[in-house]
Amino acid sequence: MAVPAVPGKTVEVPELPFQERVELPGGETAVIVVDMQNDFVKEGGTLVVPDAAGTIPPIQKLLAGARQAGARIAYTQDTHFEGDPEWAIWPEHCRAGTWGWQIVEELAPQPGDLVVQKNRYDGFYGTWLEHFLGHVWRVRHLVLVGTVSSICVLHTAAAAGLRWYNVVVPAEGISALTEFDQALTLRQVSWLYTGSITRTVDAIQFV
C-alpha cells in the first residue's frame, strides 16, 4: 500500500507479518484494555474514534478466553482534570468523574481486575501498572487492545517492549483515527518492539 509521505511523493507500507496463531501461557499473561471509555467509543463522546465501537465484541471474546485461562486483566483509564495541557492538543475528554471518563459498560472491569488511571498516552508513565505486572502478577506476556491505536495503545506497547515484555496485538481489537495510523501501530509493534501481531483475537490461544 502506498501512502503520501511528503508533497509529490509516496512511500510503500511494508508487509505486516501477521501471525496465524500465538500461544500464551494463561498464568504468565495479562490483557491490557487501553482507554475503552465513553468519550472515545460511544456516540456523544467528545473524541470518538470511528472504529472503536466495533472492537467491543472481539475484546469481549478475548477477555472471556483470558479469564477462563487464568490470565490477568488490566484497564487503563485516561484521566484529566481542569487545566490539563493535553486539552490544548485535543478536545476536552475523559474529565475525571464524568460519563465520558467511564469505561464502556460492555467491557466493565470485574472484581480482581486492575484499573490504572493515567494522565498521558503511556499506561506505564506515572502509574502502578509496572508494579502489578512485574512484581505482583509476575507476567511476561501482554496482549494489548483498545484505542487509540497510534497513540495510547502504541505508547503503552512501546513502554512494555522497552521493559522486555512479550507484546501481542490483535488488529481487530484496536482502533485508530486513520488506516495509516493503524498500519503504523502494527508495524512498530511487530518490528521495533519485536512483538507479535494477529488479524483476529481468535488467533491468540491461551494454554
Positions annotated as catalytic residues are 35, 118, 152
Residue from 94, 90, 57 nearest 78 by CA:
94
C-alpha cell at 110: 470485574
d(CA 145, CA 33) in angstroms, rounded, equals: 5
Q: DSSP string covering the chain, please?
A: -EEE-STT-EEEPPPP-B-S-EEE-GGGEEEEEE--BHHHHSTT-TT--TTTGGGHHHHHHHHHHHHHTT-EEEEEEE-B-TT-GGGGTS-S--BTTSGGGSBPGGG---TT-EEEEESSS-TTTTSSHHIIIIIIS---EEEEEEE-IIIIIHHHHHHHHHTT-EEEEEGGGEE-SSHHHHHHHHHHHHHTT--EEESSGGGEEE-
